[in-house]
Amino acid sequence: GQQVMQIPQYQHVQEGEDFTTYCNSSTTLSNIQWYKQRPGGHPVFLIQLVKSGEVKKQKRLTFQFGEAKKNSSLHITATQTTDVGTYFCAASNSGYALNFGKGTSLLVTP
């Protein structure tokens, strides 16, 4: 399946600091999705990016899709303890099946 590499694997920040996770592919992606999984929970859809260079914001979260559609990032401004969890990117070339990155686990210390 479509391989997406995600870095870093873990990130520990103080509350109020910013956080960024990156997702990279060796091939061009038709779209990319981001999910959040709280500890002990299941993944929840955050957003889908489709267009080259697309930037979308959800409150303190900013999602970007690269110009070449081979990379994406999720940036959280001024983290809060409620941001704790694992963030996954997921992609498919076409069709229905998504392939997930290994995720970035975010820990926020008050």
Partner 1 sequence: DGGITQSPKYLFRKEGQNVTLSCEQNLNHDAMYWYRQDPGQGLRLIYYSQIVNDFQKGDIAEGYSVSREKKESFPLTVTSAQKNPTAFYLCASSTRIELFFGSGTQLSVL
Binding region for partner 1 (CB under 8 A) = 1, 6, 9, 33, 35, 41-45, 48, 88, 90, 96-103
Smallest gap from residue 28 Cβ to partner 1 (A): 19
**Three-state DSSP string of 17-35:** CCEEEEEECCCCCCEEEEE
Write the CB contacts of 13 (distance below 8 Å, at least 6 apart in sequence): 19, 79, 106, 107, 108, 109
If the CB atoms of residues 66 and 101 are measured against partner 1, the closer one turns out to be: 101
If the CB atoms of residues 12 and 102 are measured against partner 1, the closer one turns out to be: 102
